[in-house]
Amino acid sequence: MWKPLLSLLWLAGLYQSVKATSKPKPPPGKPFLVKVNNETAIIGNDFWNVTIGRQYGTKLYYKNVDLVKQAVGHYVSYAGRLSDLNLTNAQVYKETEDFTDIIFYATEGEFHWVLTPTLTGAYQYFVNRALPVVGEFRTLWRLANDSFTYGKTSERNELLPPLSDILNATNIQDETWQRADGTFITKYDFATFMPIIQDEPDYWGVYGPLNGSTAIDAEMVGSWYIHAGVDYINGDHLKQELIVHRESQTGDSVQLNMIHGTHFQSLSDDTVPNGKTWGPWLWYLNDGSLRDVKERVKEEQQQWPYAWFQDDYGFHDRGSISGRIVLSDGQAAAHAAVFLGDNNSNKTSLDQGAWYYYRAYADRDGYFTITNVREGKWGLRAFSNGGRVLSHVSTIFKKEDVETKAGENNELGTLMWQTQNREREWQIGDIDRLATGFAFAGAPHEHGRALNCPADLAFKIGTSKDSDWCFAQWRLGAYTVEFDLGKRPAEKPAAILGVALASYSAGVSANILANGVKIGNLTSGRIPTQPALYRSATLAGEWYLYEFPIEAGLLKVGTNTVVFNVTTSTLYRGWMWDSVLLEWL
């Protein structure tokens, strides 16, 4: 029997049953929409169905099991938990033999579910009409905690912390608790870098025993998000987001779809044009098999951009751009990160979020191609991804008014990237916008990793290795770089100390000294802040470059020092290092 149907609808004979198998047998029935009233509708097919009210989608039935139970269910929101969309007046927007597109209306825009006769799940997309300036815009499921016990990201595949652990721990900051044994629980440990590089889509979700059974042979269920296209997601190559977690008040298993997110960024406000469409992406139910969902990812990727999807804003009007980037010293910009985004924007590539975005990497010879780009004019950016050629390049390549037209490739030819064109004396860490290579850096996301970093650290150029430098600094104390010079100061007396930070969280300040003389500072309140370090980030947040002149005569023949002396400290705050380099003017 179909459990969620009201008896009146059942007697009307609209639909008879929901099958109980994840592998459908033809001939299937068509997807359906049953309007209970203007504020409640039931949608589904022969294999699943959900009851959607004004705010929440509940009673998600799959194999005759409710996957929501006492949890909140499905909803769409912006500004965090402050503004949930009120979705009403469900209608069949478009129907073909292959799919049924069901639309729900809200003041802010239109949310669509696209169902097929056999798909366990649905494609979803949202068309903006009147969203305010947004930082976060998301869809999500809050599902039954006894069925969805595991969380899967690109970094973690493990049990979500039980609610009992959270209730028995001490809250120490935003959604972060400390157990009696000193270990931490935080939802941000389940953050990850988003799968938004061209041709590299991934998936994430929650899974576990279908009926909440603890038996070894229990039947499983999985709920997943798959984004075959990623141009509607904000940010650049280093975009990271929270995507699954345990809800700390109710214990719901949370599957987040942050289609416009800013959890690890300094700027969070974007004015989104009327008609921007997020999606379509696939929400997918299966038997919890990771192998199955991986195969589904490949299938979706091959179909992008989806032929079945039509809109009024040029979804299929796409072209490509290609070119070669060469540094001003003649070397190819090997493996440079290439970004196509807002035209004539003063925002960083990570902070851009109003329109559509494309990311790729150049090959070893500096060539790049970006395909399936919507028609329009774009701003092109390239920045260092580390490596032998680009490890010291701190400048950013910029080119505006890059145009794409449907069915055409815009060949840009050879593009010249002007570097800082200085002679390097020494460097700690590659410029790649990550803390890669430093002590304690790297996946997975983990709260409190910076607690491993010492207050004082001595680094000797020519003797110490990058792995001797800690990935973060926050404690009261000094990181000292010692280096020896020969006759060079007499030949080139002035220098620049470049300090590239992979992230910065306000609350920690430092003075920078060369041979005991202050040449600058990293000061809380003057550097744009983002919550990366205290939200479990271990590689990056948002990148900053600061350059500090060293006057002639300050450096001398023999032993010299550069010191980063922390004078103000706040627990869990501070910065992650990307690179430190001394160059001659």
Q: The domain that contains 517 carries what CATH number?
A: 2.60.120.260
Residue 191: phi, psi to the nearest 5? -80, 165
Residue 43 counted as domain residue: no
Is the pLDDT reported for residue 371 higher than 50?
Answer: yes
Span between the terminal Cα atoms of the chain, in Å = 79
**Single pTM value for the model:** 0.93
The answer to whether the beta carbons of residues 128 and 270 sit under 8 Å apart is no
Q: Which two tokens stand for residue 138?
A: 């998301």
How far is residue 240's CA from residue 262's CA, in Å, rounded to a whole number? 8
Q: 530 lies in a domain? A: yes
* Last residue of one domain, picked from the residues 274, 303, 332: 303
| Percent of the chain whose pLDDT exceeds 70 | 95
Could you tell me if residue 35 is inside a domain? Answer: no
Distances (CA, A) of 533 to 472, 479, 489: 8, 18, 37
What mean pLDDT is predicted for residues 380-398?
Answer: 97
Choose among 265, 274, 205, 202: nearest CA to 234: 265
DSSP three-state, residue 299: helix
Q: Residue 6 has what pLDDT?
A: 35
Boundary residue ending a domain (303, 330, 357): 303
The verdict on 342 and 214 lying in the same domain is no
Q: What is the pLDDT of residue 29?
A: 85
pLDDT average, residue stretch 181-198: 92
Percent of the chain with pLDDT over 90: 89
Greater model confidence, 10 or 310: 310
pLDDT at 19 over 80: no
Residue 492 pLDDT grade (very low, low, confident, very high; cuts 50, 70, 90):
confident
- What was the pLDDT predicted at 106? 97
Mean pLDDT along residues 411-435: 97
- pLDDT (0 to 100) of residue 26: 39
* Average pLDDT of the residues of the chain: 93
373 & 293 share domain? no
Above 70 in pLDDT, residue 554? yes
The pLDDT of residue 226 is above 70: yes
Inside any domain, residue 22: no
DSSP at 332: B
3-state SS of 473-501 is ECCCEEEEEEEEECCHHHHCCCEEEEEEE
Quick one: 413 and 429 in the same domain?
Answer: no
Q: Is 336 exposed, middle or buried (0-12, 13-18, 19+ CB in 10 A)?
A: buried
Share in percent of the chain as helix, strand, coil (round to 5): 10, 45, 50
The pLDDT score that the predictor gives to residue 195 is 82
**359 in the same domain as 344:** yes
Q: What is the number of other CB atoms lying within 10 angstroms of the CB of residue 121?
A: 22
The domain in which residue 473 lies consists of 423-584
Instruction: Say whether both 348 and 427 belong to one domain.
Output: no
- Does residue 250 carry a pLDDT above 80? yes
Contact assessment for residue 219 and residue 210, using Cβ atoms and an 8 Å cutoff: yes
The answer to whether position 46 is within a domain reads no
Residue 362's pLDDT band, with cuts at 50, 70 and 90, is very high
The closest of 68, 22, 109 to 60, measured between CA atoms, is 68
Mean pLDDT of 319-329: 98
Reported as a pLDDT band with limits 50, 70 and 90, residue 196 is confident
User: Does 555 share its domain with 443?
Assistant: yes
pLDDT of the residue at 81: 65
Task: Compare 442 and 10 and report the one with higher pLDDT.
Answer: 442
**How far is the CA of 17 from the CAs of 57, 65, 98, 100, 533, in angstroms?**
20, 13, 21, 19, 50
Whether 210 and 251 map to the same domain: the answer is: yes
Among 357, 389, 417, give the residue marking a domain's end. Answer: 417
Domain shared by 436 and 339, yes or no: no
Mean pLDDT on 318-330 = 98
Span 159-180, average pLDDT: 97
Question: What value does the mean pLDDT take over residues 519-532?
Answer: 94
In a domain? residue 51: no
Q: Are residues 570 and 445 in the same domain?
A: yes
How many domains is the chain partitioned into structurally? 3
Q: Tell me the average pLDDT across 315-344.
A: 98
Distance CA 563, CA 573 (A): 20
Q: Which of helix, strand or coil describes residue 468?
A: helix
Look up the CATH number of the domain holding residue 227: 2.70.98.10
The answer to whether residue 255 sits within a structural domain is yes
According to the model, what pLDDT value does residue 455 have? 98
Looking at the fold, whether 410 and 540 belong to one and the same domain comes out as no
Does residue 419 contact residue 329 with C-beta atoms inside 8 Å?
A: yes
Q: Cβ distance 557 to 487 under 8 Å? A: yes
Q: Domain holding 322: CATH number? A: 2.60.40.10
Confidence of residue 24 (pLDDT cuts 50, 70, 90): very low
- The pLDDT tens digits for 82-108 are 799 999 999 999 999 999 999 999 999
Has residue 193 been placed in a domain? yes
For residues 411 and 446, membership in a common domain is answered with no
The residue-averaged pLDDT of 364-376 equals 97
Longest dimension (CA), the chain: 95
Are 289 and 158 in the same domain?
yes
Given this model, what pLDDT does residue 71 score? 98
Specify the pLDDT at position 9: 35
Phi first, then psi: what are they for 278, rounded to 5°?
-90, 120
Average pLDDT over residues 397-411: 98
Q: To which H or E segment does residue 109 belong?
A: strand 109-115
